Amino acid sequence: MEPEKLKSIKKEAQRENGVAIHRELTKIYSNKDGSLPDISHLDVKRKSKWRLIILSGAAILVLLAAISWLGFLIFNPNYQFNDQSIEIKIDGPQNIASGDEITYTVNYKNLEKVPLNKIEMIIRYPEGFEFTAATPSPTNNFNSSWQLGTLAKGDKGSIEIKGRLIGEVGSIKNLDVTFSFQPENFSSVFKETASFSSQITTSTLAIQVEGPEKILINKKATYKIKYKNSSDQELANIKILLNYPLNFVFQAASPAPFHKEDDARNLNNQWIIDTLNKNQEGEIEITGGYLADEAITEANFEVQIGFFDPETDEFSLQQQQTVKTQIINQNLSVNLIVAGSSQNQPINFGQNLLYSIVYKNLGQQELDDVEFTITIDSAVLDWEALEDKHGGVVKDNTITWNKDQISELDLVRPLDQGTIDFSIQVQKADDVRIEQTDLQTKSKVTAKMVKIDDLDVDDFAVESNEIMNNINTDIELKVEGRYFDDDNIAVGTGPLPPVVGQKTSFRIYWSIANNLHEVKDVKVTTTLPNSIDWSDKYLVKVGSIAYNEKDDQVTWSIGRIPTNKTFEDVNVWFDIEVTPTKQQERKLLVLTDQSELNAVDVVTESEINKVGKAITSNLEDDPMAGGRGLVIDITE
């Protein structure tokens, strides 16, 4: 070796040795924040003996390392290290199907001019990688390290690693490889690293979701989830997870959802599949419905499939599909009114019932081919007395109207409205066998339509309010005016026909019959005209009677009347008297105004009102005295 070159190498070694020693001493004497202490003045402190020994040892080691490096340079003056001692190449698939088995091949080669000793390869696997085999086999229990020994100059080798990689579609997976080694005649350890990236572009788990494009609120909705293992190997620990829309109500599923016994919540939204053989497929069917919510017009039925870790329950999403379902609220309002009320109320025998069906389209969709059908369950209506100007189709106890009867029902547009009126008679009590007949009338309207916009809804129906009409008790009030009783005995006094200036008395009879329900708080009242006087003569069989002089009103009060009572059981009579004036000559006298009965039906809890006729001196109810009511004047 040339002397000048050797001298230059020695100077360079000495310089590097000095730098190394300086660095070590700086580490030893520097403060914690990296600054050097102020040595302009020194505080002498007694040093520990052991600390002095440790510091001396460190300095000796640094000196020996520098001498070794200098010796290597002196005795190997022509050797130069390559930028890369080991060439590392990793082969593997760049596009991966999650869950598939993949193979990584790590190829390595010694690029140095000296052998490399104590070679170790350490692999850091991508997240979600499951090791299955390697050639040669790993040398540790974690299947991540290989002790490769010595690699001569220019020699090469390879390691093949197989496993299954699971991850979310679209994620990037990195495999990191580190080689550590010692070049011959070196005690220092050197390292080389390499990495390989793959992207999960597909999954071995396939999923398909089917569901309705449109659905009406409160109607049954069915969703089908089809899944498949599209790989050539068995897959394990699969989870299917559903995110239900906010207004979706779960009803049933086949197969049933997975539910942990220690979980009080019943989520009904996950299915666990322990194993799925190659090319095996399955199906889940879910039924439910949607609640009305004006803020939600479209629902996203989201389904996810992936792998899960049984230990941590960590979920690795593989595929996700969403079915959009438009939620249609038909918003057809149908209201039924019977006898002026949309609520339950009692009705009477012989009453003419007016029915009204009021409808309006409150939605934003057109209703095509609308049909209304009213069902009236009743044994007391007289269908022969039905009056319907629209001519609805009568069948059994129903009446139906569609576009053939009412043209507006062909297409009911948003905000369109209408009313269908008809009437029907309640039979009279004498025509009904009360003891054998259900006296309740129940009515409800059902609306159907063929389409809502372009959605077929043949099986869809909208129902109105239901009205229950119970028959009030058949209470009757009989009012009679008599001069002779039924035995033709005079109960009146004075001249008949009445004579001007002479007093004549008449007897008024009130009788009540009640045969269906008990009634309470019964009152019968009438008013006496100005020319009629109260005789204060009466006979009460039930209750009490009173006369009020201030308003000339006669009142008969009864606390309760049980059922099956006749006129003979409940009655009263009282006498009135009159002295006709000249102005009343040749006229009939009004003895009492109309009589009014008020009572409360105990069963229907409704107030009952009946009106009795006014009584005149013509006495239509008296066979003997009837027809002799005109006042005469015998003084002329």
Please state the three-class secondary structure of 183-208 as a single string.
ECCCCCCEEEEEEEEEEEEEECEEEE
Residue 69 has pLDDT above 60, yes or no: no
Which whole number is the average pLDDT over 35-55?
A: 54
Q: How far apart, in Å, are the Cα atoms of 576 and each of 526, 553, 554, 570, 590?
A: 12, 12, 11, 21, 11
User: What is the third-level CATH fold of 86-203?
Assistant: Immunoglobulin-like (2.60.40)
What single-letter DSSP state applies at residue 611? E
CA angle 358, 359, 360 (to 5 degrees): 135
97-106, 264-273, 521-530, 605-614: which has the minimum mean pLDDT?
A: 264-273
Q: What is the pLDDT of residue 426?
A: 94
C-alpha atoms less than 13 angstroms from C-alpha of 492 in its C-beta half-sphere: 29
CATH code of domain 332-470: 2.60.40.740
How sure is the predictor about 82, in pLDDT bands with cuts at 50, 70 and 90?
A: low
Cα end-to-end span (Å), the chain: 184
Long-range contacts from 404-411, C-beta under 8 angstroms, 24+ separation = 409/369, 409/370, 409/371, 409/372, 410/368, 410/369, 411/366, 411/367, 411/368, 411/369
Say if domain 211-326 classifies as CATH 2.60.40.10: yes
Domain boundaries, the chain: 3-32+48-75, 86-203, 211-326, 332-470, 476-616
Q: What is the pLDDT of residue 20?
A: 47
Q: What is the pLDDT of residue 146?
A: 96
Sign of CA dihedral 27, 31, 34, 40: negative
Q: What is the pLDDT of residues 413-468, one digit of tens each?
A: 999 999 999 999 999 988 888 776 788 899 999 999 998 888 888 778 899 999 99
Coil, strand or helix at 87: strand
List beta partners, residue 147.
120
In angstroms, rounded to a whole number, what is the distance separating the alpha carbons of residues 530 and 581?
Answer: 12
Which whole number is the average pLDDT over 506-517?
A: 94
Q: What is the pLDDT of residues 218-252, one digit of tens each?
A: 888 999 999 999 888 888 999 999 999 999 999 99
Q: What is the mean pLDDT of the chain?
A: 87
Q: What is the pLDDT of residue 10?
A: 42
Angle between helices 49-75 and 3-29 (to 10 degrees): 160
Q: Is the peptide bond before 529 cis (omega within 30 degrees of 0)?
A: no
Q: What is the pLDDT of residues 530-572, one digit of tens each?
A: 999 999 999 999 999 999 999 999 999 999 999 999 999 999 9
C-alpha atoms less than 13 angstroms from C-alpha of 190 in its C-beta half-sphere: 18
Query: Residue 29: in which H helix or E strand, if any?
Result: helix 3-29
CATH code of domain 476-616: 2.60.40.1170
Radius of gyration of the chain (CA): 54
Q: What is the pLDDT of residue 60?
A: 72
86-203 and 211-326 in the same fold = yes
Residue 41 has pLDDT above 50, yes or no: no
How sure is the predictor about 38, in pLDDT bands with cuts at 50, 70 and 90?
A: low
Which whole number is the average pLDDT over 103-124?
A: 95
Instruction: Please state, as a whole number, how many other Cβ atoms lie within 10 Å of the Cβ of residue 538.
Output: 18
How sure is the predictor about 49, in pLDDT bands with cuts at 50, 70 and 90?
A: low
Residue 268 has pLDDT above 50, yes or no: yes
Q: What is the pLDDT of residues 166-204, one digit of tens each?
A: 888 888 999 999 999 999 988 889 999 999 999 998 888
Coil, strand or helix at 559: strand
Q: Which residues contact 111 (CB under 8 A, 6 or more apart)?
A: 82, 84, 85, 86, 87
In angstroms, rounded to a whole number, what is the distance separating the alpha carbons of residues 442 and 424?
Answer: 14
Residue 210 has pLDDT above 90, yes or no: yes
195 or 48: which carries more pLDDT confidence?
Answer: 195
163-167, 388-392, 596-600: which has the minimum mean pLDDT?
A: 163-167
139 or 454: which carries more pLDDT confidence?
Answer: 139
Q: What is the pLDDT of residue 43?
A: 47
How sure is the predictor about 387, in pLDDT bands with cuts at 50, 70 and 90?
A: very high
Q: What is the pLDDT of residue 72?
A: 44
**158 contacts 107 by C-beta, under 8 angstroms:** yes
Q: What is the pLDDT of residues 319-366, one digit of tens each?
A: 889 999 988 887 889 999 999 999 999 998 999 999 999 999 988 889
41-45, 527-531, 622-626: which has the minimum mean pLDDT?
A: 41-45
Tell me which amino acid residue 373 is. T
Token digits of residue 395: 């069948």
Q: How far apart, in Å, are the Cα atoms of 572 and each of 18, 33, 368, 534, 626?
A: 141, 120, 64, 15, 21
Which whole number is the average pLDDT over 609-622?
A: 94
In the block, residue with structure tokens 């007016």: 354
